[in-house]
Amino acid sequence: MPFGPILLRSFYSRSSVEVGRELLGKVLVHGRTAGIIVETEAYPGGDDRASHSSRGITDRTRVIFGPPGHAYIYFIYGMYECLNIVAEPAGTPGCVLIRAIEPVAGIESMRRRRPSARGVEDLANGPGKLTLAMGITRRQYGADVTRGELVVRAPAEARQIEIVATPRVGITHCADRLLRFVIAGNRFVSK
């Protein structure tokens, strides 16, 4: 399936809220798997206590404070890896969690990696499901998403989408902020 060009670093060197909204409809590609991004969450630095960067620079969060356009991948609940993409200008922490995709390439590989998925809608409709389906692991921590095997591309053809903002999922701090973005009516969004 043809895709547009890989997004440039300048795309990510903006507010994590802007990046989170504008990643919707773009195509996440890892190797031979790909999917349209249908759900994201923004984690700006500063006073956002839900952000991992709120405690400052640690070995785990160092990449969030670096140049934009790199992968921040962490392990959660002792079983899932989550993919974030660093946003904001270098030195300013912020990232965007990729929560769900609509699979468009490598679907058979995704099915092998997620045999418990009931249908194509269930392959990558959550951050842990997405990384399992696409074979994304902590080995890609720090990967430059502007080149290589893990990238985000423009769609081959832009399409009109309606974006809905809601509170983020599964957090306790700053839970009321409308920083989860979804493509309205998309059946691949997490439940």
Q: Is residue 189 part of a domain?
A: no
Residue 53's pLDDT is what? 65
Q: What is the CA radius of gyration of the chain?
A: 15
Residue 167 lies in a domain: yes
Q: What is the pLDDT along the chain (191 residues), one digit of tens a residue?
A: 679 999 999 999 999 999 999 999 999 999 999 999 999 999 887 776 556 665 767 677 788 888 999 999 988 766 789 999 999 998 888 999 999 999 999 999 999 999 999 999 999 999 999 999 999 999 999 999 999 999 999 999 988 999 999 888 777 676 778 899 999 999 999 98
Query: Is 188 part of a structural domain of the chain?
Result: no
Whether residue 1 is contained in a domain is answered as no
Q: Into how many domains does the chain fold?
A: 1
Q: Is residue 35 a part of any domain in this protein?
A: yes
| Domain boundaries, position 149 | 9-183
pLDDT at 49: 58
pLDDT of residue 110: 98
- CATH for 53: 3.10.300.10
Q: What is the structure's pLDDT at 78? A: 67
Q: What is the structure's pLDDT at 52? A: 60
Q: 87 near 15, Cβ under 8 Å?
A: yes
- Residue 140 inside a domain? The answer is yes
Residue 191 counted as domain residue? no
Residue 13 lies in a domain: yes
Cα separation, 82 vs 79, whole angstroms: 10
- Rounded CA gap, 111 and 164, in Å? 29
CA distance 15 to 87: 7
So what's the pLDDT on residue 185? 95
Host H or E run for residue 113: helix 107-113
H/E stretch holding 128: helix 127-134
Distances in whole angstroms, Cα of residue 30 to Cα of each of 49, 73, 89, 96, 169: 30, 14, 24, 17, 25
**CB-CB contact of 38 with 182 (8 Å):** yes
